[in-house]
Amino acid sequence: MSIANNYGVRVHKVPSYRLGEGVLGRAWIYDGLIEIRYDLRGEEFEEVLLHEMIHMKYRLDEYKTRALTRIALLARGKIPKFH
C-alpha cells in the first residue's frame, strides 16, 4: 500500500516478513522509497516515518539517526516509543 505525502519520497506499508524480525521500517535512500511495517498506525507510524526521513535527508548511521529522531520527537513534545 502506498501512502501519499509531501516529502518527495514514496512511502509503502509492507508486511513484517519483508522487513525482517524487529525491523519497523527502512529507507532506500537512492530509490526515494521508504517501507514501513503495515501494522503501525498513528504516532507509531509517524515516529518511524520521521526516523526513515532523517535517514533519507542526512544519510547518517543508525546510531546517529536514532539520536536525532529522539531529539526531534522531544522537541515536538512527543515521547519516543522506539528511539
Pick from 62, 52, 13, 7: nearest CA to 36: 13
In the DSSP assignment, the letter for residue 8 is: S
Total count of domains within the chain: 1
For residue 83, being part of any structural domain is answered with no
Confidence grade of residue 4 (pLDDT, cut at 50, 70, 90): low
- Residues 6+ away with beta carbon under 8 Å from 9: 32, 33, 34, 53, 56
The domain of 24 spans 2-75
For residue 80, being part of any structural domain is answered with no
Pick from 78, 83, 1: nearest CA to 42: 78
23 residue type, one letter = V
For residue 81, being part of any structural domain is answered with no
pLDDT in tens, 24-72: 999 999 999 999 999 999 999 999 999 999 999 999 999 999 999 999 9
Q: Is the pLDDT of residue 7 over 90?
A: no
Which pLDDT does position 3 carry in this prediction? 74
For residue 64, being part of any structural domain is answered with yes
